[in-house]
Every structure is written in structure tokens, then in C-alpha cells.
Amino acid sequence: MRPISEKRIELERQTGKHKLRGGWKGLFRWEDMDWLERQIEKGLRFCGFYRLGFRNLFDFCVEEAELSFPNLPDAFDGLRLLWVSDFHIEPLDGLAESLVESLRPIRYDIAVLGGDYAFHYDLTEIAVERTRQITETLLSRGAVYGLLGNHDRYEMGLLLEAWGVRMLVNEEAVLEKDGQTLSLVGIDDCHYYKSDDLAAAVAGLDGDPFRILLSHSPEIINKALPCRIDLCVCGHTHGGQVCLPGGYPPVVCASVPRRYAKGLWRHNGMTGYTSRGIGASGIPVRFCCRPEITLLNLRCLR
């Protein structure tokens, strides 16, 4: 795992107090309005909806998508990539155990932990222990790659790596099979810390391999275009987390149009998938937006 940038080190010291936007714009940015979240939480508790929303966090589903590419090397035809992210695990008693049970029957080849393991910006023992529980289950079944999200401390990345996860912080990992290669490019958080460095991540790549970009947030999409990324997989948005019936998200905490906030999308020729993730931030509830284990099946299009 590469060391994180000076910028991220400094912002991590501020433990979430750094505003994403200064001035009057910061006053109306959802992620900077803790006071409003607390009022909504009180309202939900008063109306009896809080418990329902909390229960919804345990209603995982497996979202499978088959994605075909003309340039996917034959050796990787049928590769199954599992993505789980955004646990925000501390307030969710029992979630780690439920998730482990849901993961057991799923067949996959490689697993990716997409970041935001913690709920709080300070790293707590409970976040570490519960993340370890999920991670060990995945590690017992094969290679696991990991990213840092905007709720994570560098120390969490070091712990994940010590447990056996290959952390990708502005770096790539090359998979080889039958003499063919595929590149996994992982970048640091581009949402809050803005410490992504895609140019550095792809600098060492020889030739023109099939490239999968792993990013905590879809806000990387425009920077990804010049790097000839074949597939971009991300999370962070929680699919809106609290949606209207039918799944429309009134709030998406990412500077991207809503069509990139969940599920499959295309952006100027690049295929992408944004996972709704597992947990919840702000208020630990979900409505009309089930938590998701993502399973992408990559196929050769010939």
C-alpha cells in the first residue's frame, strides 16, 4: 500500500471537521449539515419509522450483472468480481454476522472492499473488529483487494493490509492467467480527501491491458476517460440511501448526475457500475434502497 498524500494526512487530522465547501455553499451541503440529520433522526424516531429504516439495513440483496467487452482477454472470460463497500459498521449491531452469512454461498473469483468501513471519522475498536470479521471471511476464499473511502483512516488501510488485503491506493495490481493480463487500478478517495492520483496509479502499466478502475466514489469518471479504462466500479453513494418509492434518490452525496449514483451506467464509452453498498451514513436507516452485494460477471464479446 502506498503512503497517503500529505493533503489526506492533514485532513485526517481534522477528523471530519473539514467542510467540503466553504462560504454559503457549505451551509447547504447535506454532508455538512449534521444538525439537520439529527433533527430528521428525531422525527423518524417520533413517527416510528426509525426502527423500520434500521431493519432495512439488514435486507441485503445480491445484484448480479453480466458485462461483455470485446477486448477482455480470453483467460478472464467469466471472471466474477465481488464488490462490497460502505459498511459504516459501528452502529449496526449484528450486521457483520448477517453479511458474512449472506456472502458464504456466493461464488466469485476476486473480492474488492470498496471503502467506508467505519461510520465515525475516528477509528474505533468496534469498527476494526467488525471489519476484520467480514474481511477474514473473504480472505478465507481467495484474493481480496481494498480501497480507502472518505470515512476511513490510513490506520484502517494498514490493518487491512496486515490481515492480507492488497490495498490499492493510487496503484495497480496486475492479474495474470494463461499468459494474459488484466489490470486492477485502485485510487484513493476522490470525494472528501480528493487524494486520488490516477496518473500515478497507471504510470507503471506496460502495454495496453484490460483495465478495471476501482474507485470509492463515481466522482472519478471524468478523470478516468483519458486513461482508457474499460470498466469502472465504485460505491459511496449508497444509491441515495433514503429514496422515494420507485427508488428515486432525492439526495446523492456525490458531484455526479443521478444516473451514475447506482447500478450500471455508460460514460463516453466507458462502462461503469455504482454499488448501493451495505450500510448507511448520517442516519443509520435506509428506505426504498436495499443494501447491495455486487457481483459482476465479465464476459468476452466476440
Residue sitting closest to Fe ion (CB): 236
Shortest reach from residue 170's CB to Fe ion, in Å:
17
Bridge-based pairing of strands 180-186 and 171-177 is antiparallel
Shortest reach from residue 150's CB to Fe ion, in Å:
4
Q: Which is nearer to Fe ion, 63 or 116 (CB)?
A: 116
Q: Which is nearer to Fe ion, 145 or 210 (CB)?
A: 145
From its phi and psi, is residue 207 left (phi > 0), alpha (psi between -120 and 50) or beta? left
**256: DSSP letter:** S
Which residue in this structure is represented by grid cell 443521478?
258
Q: Is 279 in the site for Fe ion (CB under 5 A)?
A: no
Q: Which is nearer to Fe ion, 210 or 265 (CB)?
A: 265
Shortest reach from residue 300's CB to Fe ion, in Å:
32
Binding to Fe ion (CB under 5 A) within 104-163 occurs at 116, 149-150
Q: Which is nearer to Fe ion, 149 or 282 (CB)?
A: 149
Which candidate, 155, 137, 135, places its Cα nearest to that of 146? 135
Which stretch in 9-17, 161-169, 231-239, 267-275 sits in contact with Fe ion by CB under 5 A? Answer: 231-239
Q: Which is nearer to Fe ion, 211 or 236 (CB)?
A: 236
Give the x/- contact pattern for Fe ion in 233-252, rule: CB under 5 A. Answer: ---x----------------
Q: Which is nearer to Fe ion, 183 or 236 (CB)?
A: 236
Cβ neighbours around 201 below 10 Å, total: 23
Shortest reach from residue 174's CB to Fe ion, in Å:
27
Judged by CB under 5 A, how many residues of this single chain contact Fe ion? 4
Shortest reach from residue 76's CB to Fe ion, in Å:
28
Strand segments, DSSP code E, in the chain are: 61-69, 79-84, 110-113, 144-146, 166-167, 171-177, 180-186, 210-215, 231-234, 263-267, 270-274, 292-300
Binding to Fe ion (CB under 5 A) within 152-211 occurs at none
Binding to Fe ion (CB under 5 A) within 33-92 occurs at none
Q: Is 211 exposed, middle or buried (0-12, 13-18, 19+ CB in 10 A)?
A: buried
What is the DSSP code string of 142-167?
S-EEE---TT--HHHHHHHHHHT-EE
153 vs 8: CA distance, rounded Å: 9
138 vs 103: CA distance, rounded Å: 8
Shortest reach from residue 88's CB to Fe ion, in Å:
8
Shortest reach from residue 142's CB to Fe ion, in Å:
25
Three cell numbers written together for 69: 467487452
Residues that bind Fe ion (CB under 5 A): 116, 149-150, 236
